[in-house]
Structure 1
Amino acid sequence: MAAATAEARPLPLRRQRAFVLLCGEQIAGSVGRQVTALAVALLAVTDLGTGPFGAAAVLALTYLPGALLSPFAGVLVDRVRLRRLLVVVTAAQALVVGSVPLVNTLGGVGRPQLYGVAVVSGALTFTLSVALQTALPRVVAPDRLLSANSALTGARTAGLIGGPALGGVLVGILGPAPALLAGSAAYAVEALLLLALPAALNDPAEPRGAQSPASLLRTGLEVLRGEPRLRLMVLAGAGLNLGSGASGALLVFYATRDLALSAWQLGISYAVHSAATLAGVGVAGRFARTAGLWSATRICALLAGGAVFLIPAASLGPAFELLLGYQACYGLAVTVWAISMTTLQQLVTPDGMRGRVAGFVQAALLGTVPVGALAGGALAAGIGNVPVLLGSAVVALLAAASLWTPGVSRPAAVAARTPEPGSSAPR
């Protein structure tokens, strides 16, 4: 009997090869993204001399492809060989980011190339995001999705903790453009890890020719519109990103010009954000199982929106300490919010449609980021950084508060598949 029980017991996540590979991919990818983001932002501000609108434009162009192309990326993810797509996207990312230090050695990087890299890199990043959200439920059982999403966020945070600090050191020693070689190398490692995923992931979720792309888009949108909580989370998340997008676009410019913080202080602040993210990973599973996915999402969104007020407050008090406080509070709250929301989305989405639904959700959440970034940059050029940052915080908090709209019932699909409060956590 004991032998039969042992055979029936599923393997722990840490012993499932495909899941371990995804964790490794998250570490490598997060290092690449953090080094790239910091180096590109500092390259625009310090080497190319861009103002607040130019700095905001870099962030906006990074997010814009995700806002426009994510639904089509979802259709692609559901219809093509998933492992092959993951490898091609990450390999292309390594080449795109590596083009900056290459051109820099040949005569210098100009704004057109920097903006072009931001656009292409953004398109690849968000295509990969949709594909990975689709891949996880294909390698992990439904009752383990909450633990798996928490573990993947933890793996990603391991790279986030070292990535900003590494980026700051490399920028300080080599300069922004050469530092991007480290980002390119991290993306190459990510591609190799994805290549080792099971070949079964190459079976398309949706048979080719079964429906037209337009029909596939409609069915994905119908799922999103038919699930009340998912619809409300998307709308609130879009508003939260509108406010945080404006403040995030101005953060490097505001910190370096208004607060006179150095590159190493910026790197440390981002590392604190990563450490707070790791703390969020540690509490997300237990908190979501105790309070429920929906309650965890609402509470943490409200905390994240409130934390944005610490950015403009840095102009009135100890700047570095308040900026660290923002990174700590926002990192913790937004991590639990993201894990709870992603798990809920994966649980309520029918098999074979996760790419399309994830694409629409991502497009809705990302669409407001470039709008907020560009609007924040344009307004800051006219009225200053602090008033815009304060207004951004108000928008973020009001959007998060909209999640408390009464009358949304608990979906039956989630009730059936989410661990009940007090139950043992999936391993």
Structure 2
Amino acid sequence: MWNHAGVRTLGWTILVMNLTFMAGFATWVLYAKQRLGLSETQFGLLISASAIGAIAGMPVYHLLEPRVGSLTLLRAGLVVETVTHLVLAVTRSPGLVVVTMTVFGVHAVVWGIVSTTARQLATPDVLMGRVNNVYALASVGGAAAGALLGGVLAQRFGLATPFVVAFVGMVIVTALAWRPLRHIAVRESAAR
């Protein structure tokens, strides 16, 4: 994993993406109730928006990947994730949050398909288990650390703060990962 620039980039990127994501979403129920003013039923509908986006993610991937390629989808995913945190940091509009989370749901599935495919194409069979385990550790470890960070930030500075921190973190990740991701393009790796 360390010797392949693209796989290495995917590894540290998912670590920070899940850290920033969970920093914001550790307080999701409080955010929805206190900042957006949603009822319990409305909160359920908000969660459904992400699920609907996730369901749409597979056909969106199949539609876009042959036309724009995996590198564009990965880069677009970084932008979607960054903008998601910005919107959640500044808005109090439930409608805008629903749209944002629907788009985020699409992004999460597309990113998962592209990153998994790219990682597996770039990894020799004898190292597949090790690389997948390191990636899973980065993913889950980032989420766990992010949940802890988000709770502390929200308690000390307010419910929007974890999203502000996530936005800043994702701006940095996007800037640092943009060029190295060119080493992981699935279309070129698959030699289609």
Question: How would you bin the TM-score normalised by the shorter chain?
Answer: 0.7 to 0.9
Is 1:390 the counterpart of 2:164? The answer is yes
Structure with higher Rg: it is 1
**1:204-236 deviation line (CA, Å, top 9, x unaligned):** xxxxxxxxxxxxxxxxxxxx1121111112212
Is 1:244 the counterpart of 2:21? The answer is yes
Gaps of 5+ in 2: none
Counterpart amino acid of 1:244?
A: F
- Structure 1 residue 294: Cα displacement: 2.5
- 1:273–1:331 Cα contact (<8 Å) kept: yes
- Structure 1 residue 408: Cα displacement: 4.9
RMSD: 2.3
- 1:243–1:394 Cα contact (<8 Å) kept: no
Mark the CA change 1:311 to 1:262 in structure 2 (over 3 Å): closer, same or farther. same
Which residue of the other structure, out of 268, 271, 290, is the alignment partner of 2:67? 290
SS of 1:244's equivalent in the other structure is helix
**1:260-293 deviation line (CA, Å, top 9, x unaligned):** 3122111111111111122221121232223222
- 1:303–1:333 Cα contact (<8 Å) kept: yes
Is 1:312 the counterpart of 2:86? The answer is no
- 1:311–1:323 Cα contact (<8 Å) kept: yes
**1:8-59 deviation line (CA, Å, top 9, x unaligned):** xxxxxxxxxxxxxxxxxxxxxxxxxxxxxxxxxxxxxxxxxxxxxxxxxxxx
Separation of aligned partners in 1, 2:84 and 2:147: 18
Partner of 2:138: 364
Is 1:277 the counterpart of 2:57? The answer is no
Separation of aligned partners in 1, 2:191 and 2:116: 13
SS of 1:325's equivalent in the other structure is helix
Mark the CA change 1:416 to 1:311 in structure 2 (over 3 Å): closer, same or farther. closer
Q: Which has the higher contact order (CA 8 A, sep 6+)?
A: 2
Separation of aligned partners in 2, 1:410 and 1:360: 17
Aligned residues: 192
SS of 1:385's equivalent in the other structure is coil
Partner of 1:257: 34
Separation of aligned partners in 2, 1:398 and 1:271: 30
**What does 1:178-189 align with in structure 2 at a 5 Å threshold?**
none
SS of 2:124's equivalent in the other structure is coil
**1:311-341 deviation line (CA, Å, top 9, x unaligned):** 22333xx3x2122022112112222111111
Separation of aligned partners in 2, 1:285 and 1:278: 13
- 1:310–1:325 Cα contact (<8 Å) kept: no
Partner of 1:227: 4
Separation of aligned partners in 2, 1:410 and 1:333: 18
Separation of aligned partners in 2, 1:284 and 1:407: 18
Mark the CA change 1:330 to 1:246 in structure 2 (over 3 Å): closer, same or farther. same
Mark the CA change 1:364 to 1:352 in structure 2 (over 3 Å): closer, same or farther. same
Gaps of 5+ in 1: 1-223, 420-427
Separation of aligned partners in 2, 1:338 and 1:416: 17
Mark the CA change 1:272 to 1:246 in structure 2 (over 3 Å): closer, same or farther. same
Partner of 2:119: 345
Mark the CA change 1:347 to 1:271 in structure 2 (over 3 Å): closer, same or farther. same
**1:369-392 deviation line (CA, Å, top 9, x unaligned):** 222211121122112112332222
Separation of aligned partners in 2, 1:418 and 1:294: 14
- Structure 1 residue 361: Cα displacement: 0.6
Counterpart amino acid of 1:349?
A: T
Counterpart amino acid of 2:153?
A: L
**1:49-97 deviation line (CA, Å, top 9, x unaligned):** xxxxxxxxxxxxxxxxxxxxxxxxxxxxxxxxxxxxxxxxxxxxxxxxx
Q: TM-score, normalised by structure 2?
A: 0.87
- Structure 1 residue 240: Cα displacement: 1.7
Counterpart amino acid of 1:403?
A: A
- Structure 1 residue 403: Cα displacement: 2.0
Counterpart amino acid of 1:394?
A: V
Separation of aligned partners in 2, 1:362 and 1:281: 21
